[in-house]
Amino acid sequence: MKITAAQAMAKCLTEEGIKVVFGYPGAAICPFYDALMDTDIRHVLVRHEANAGHEASGYARITGRPAVCIATSGPGAVNLITAIATAYADSVPLICITGQVNRDQIGSDAFQEADITGAAEPFVKHSYLVSDPAQIPRIFKEAFYIAGTGRPGPVLIDVPMDVQREVIEYKYPKSVDIRGYKPTVKGNPYQVKRVYAALKESEKPLICLGGGVFTGGAVPEVLELARRMQIPVITTMMGISAFPSDDELFFGMLGMHGCKTANRAVNDCDTLFLVGARVGDRAVRTPLALEKTTKIIHIDIDPAEIGKNINVDFPLVGDAKQVLTQLLEIAEPCRHDSWFADLTALRTEKQFAEVPEGTVNPKRFIDELSQAMPDDSVICADVGQNQIWTCTDYRFRSGGRFVTSGGMGTMGYSLPAAIGAKLAAPERSVCAICGDGALQMSMMELATAVQHDVNVKLVVMTNTRLGMVRELQTKGYDDRQTAVFLDGSPDFVKLADAYGIPALRVTDEKTMKEAISKLANSDERMLVEVVVDKDFATL
């Protein structure tokens, strides 16, 4: 079949089952936009290219499949980079399609020319600058395969405008064969046995779940293994909601902002079983001390993560679901009663501090919100204090999902990610939680939600400060506070009103109950501003 390369690009997306794309057009990507009109693919017009990437990221995290974002050449492409880096840090599969100037103009500093494959190189799993239009079908097939398999990540396809216009013979390849890319999925059977033996022998084993549990789709297997072998479970920030927090085996999130019980568990355990967790510096501050006292088992699909941040006694390369299934085939029930009792004794009842009149305790708000929201809700936290409050106080039950920018810590991620998540799962309740700093980095996406009728809920915690930096300055810089005051911010309730979005302000118990009830029981778009004391601590 003879069609233009632009039509081929659109057709490739259809072949890959793409229903929604997120983007922002410009001259260099117009041929592709024109071709998209003749497909059933829904285009979501964002208000800034970075948010196209974040929306695709939220979408991909919920579907577990690569999602597509589109930008034009030059500034459009460069604006995408933050989203590409954010997705790369959290192993989210994205296909980023950018327009490029005509082939004969490349390298001439033409209008809206940017070397995007060069600029994005540190943050992509792979990238293509398409010089031969005939290669479009192969490149798209490969890109989806690379983005979605192994350790997922963003793949960039940069297509010059004249390439998009050329007519090619279109045939979508059935399979992919890339000799330099063969991810290991199945765990080495011998190593699986050794890991099982180590777990069985251990008196104080601990499972630590990372984001790899979601990318591997291993949530049920983790639950089964932990229950059968009675092993306590903690998570990294990326692993939150991979294990129900109301389960007696669950002991919280570890790390710098984690809970005491989880960190004590890491220190006291004799065997630490890492599943798709990379031992980032915010999770384990002193890996050298830990590896001396503790047997480390590490399952990861990316061999480069094993032994990178911590020395490992039992490395096991493979897909979390596959490897855990292999373990479940041989695992027999066992108990660790005294260890479990030790950890249980460390649990403390939550206590919420009194707060000044006219404000609410944000941790209490989140705790109560989590009890009211449907079990399968998707909660997208931003970055900063709001993120830590959500991590520590939202109690995810089975079926719930937490989404945040864990690795890169990209402010402004929550609202676009929530829009993407809601489009991926319209039947689920999706709520973004952010601060007044983060919201002002992506509040233009309120228009996207309205235009495309996406019923996301947004909780904005306002303390007129960049709270986490303020706290850092208080503790580490002799309380010399600078550049953290958000004076000049809009009235967020009026702002929502300007977009036609219903909004509430929470300043006391009564308005809190009212807001939580609305957030939990209606599927309407809404914004809830939660007024927080300026000095309220992160932990």
Partner 1 sequence: MKHTISVLVENHSGVLSRISGLFSRRGFNIESLAVGPTQDPGISRVTIIADGNDYTVEQIEKQLNKLVEVIKVKTFAAGEFLARELLLVKISAGADKRQEVMTICEIANAKVIDLTVNTMTLEVCDKFEHLKRFEDLIAPYGIIEMVRTGTIAIQKGADVIAAKK
Q: Which residues bind partner 1 (CB under 8 A)?
A: 117-118, 121-122, 125-126, 129, 146, 178-182, 302-304, 307-308
Q: Would you give the DSSP letter of residue 24?
A: -
Q: How far is the CB of 301 from partner 1 (least distance, A)?
A: 11
DSSP β-bridge partners for residue 528 = 459, 504
**How far is C-alpha 373 from the chain's CA centre?**
20
Q: How far is the CB of 126 from partner 1 (least distance, A)?
A: 4
Nearer to partner 1, 118 or 374 (CB): 118
What is the C-alpha separation between 193 and 56, in angstroms, rounded?
A: 39
Nearer to partner 1, 255 or 407 (CB): 407
Nearer to partner 1, 118 or 217 (CB): 118
Nearer to partner 1, 278 or 457 (CB): 278
| Contact call for residues 87 and 95 (beta carbons, < 8 A) | no
What is the C-alpha separation between 169 and 150, in angstroms, rounded?
A: 31
Q: How far is the CB of 217 from partner 1 (least distance, A)?
A: 22
What is the C-alpha separation between 278 and 41, in angstroms, rounded?
A: 36
Q: How far is the CB of 121 from partner 1 (least distance, A)?
A: 5
What is the C-alpha separation between 373 and 457, in angstroms, rounded?
A: 12
Q: How far is the CB of 131 from partner 1 (least distance, A)?
A: 8
Nearer to partner 1, 88 or 251 (CB): 88
Residue with tokens 């520590």: 392
What is the C-alpha separation between 321 and 70, in angstroms, rounded?
A: 31
Nearer to partner 1, 174 or 179 (CB): 179
Nearer to partner 1, 173 or 502 (CB): 173
Q: How far is the CB of 363 from partner 1 (least distance, A)?
A: 38
**How far is C-alpha 235 from the chain's CA centre?**
15
Q: How far is the CB of 180 from partner 1 (least distance, A)?
A: 5
CA–CA–CA angle 178, 179, 182 (5° rounding): 80
Q: How far is the CB of 41 from partner 1 (least distance, A)?
A: 26
Spatial strand order of the sheet with 20-23 comes to 42-45, 20-23, 67-71, 94-100, 154-160, 126-129
What is the C-alpha separation between 472 and 493, in angstroms, rounded?
A: 29
Nearer to partner 1, 152 or 412 (CB): 152
Nearer to partner 1, 125 or 457 (CB): 125
Q: How far is the CB of 451 from partner 1 (least distance, A)?
A: 37
DSSP secondary structure, 79-116, as one string: HHHHHHHHHHHTT--EEEEEEE--GGGTTS--TT---H
Q: Which amino acid, one-letter code, is at 237?
A: M
What Rg value do the Cα atoms of the chain yield, rounded? 24
**How far is C-alpha 56 from the chain's CA centre?**
11
Nearer to partner 1, 41 or 106 (CB): 106
DSSP β-bridge partners for residue 271 = 205, 295
Q: How far is the CB of 75 from partner 1 (least distance, A)?
A: 22
CA–CA–CA angle 150, 209, 58 (5° rounding): 60
Residue with tokens 């029981």: 521
Distances (CA, A) of 512 to 361, 439, 463, 492, 532: 10, 20, 16, 16, 12
Spatial strand order of the sheet with 271-275 comes to 250-253, 233-235, 205-209, 271-275, 295-300, 314-317
Nearer to partner 1, 179 or 292 (CB): 179
As given in the structure block, the two tokens for residue 289 are 């001390």
| Contact call for residues 157 and 100 (beta carbons, < 8 A) | no
Nearer to partner 1, 125 or 257 (CB): 125
**How far is C-alpha 330 from the chain's CA centre?**
32
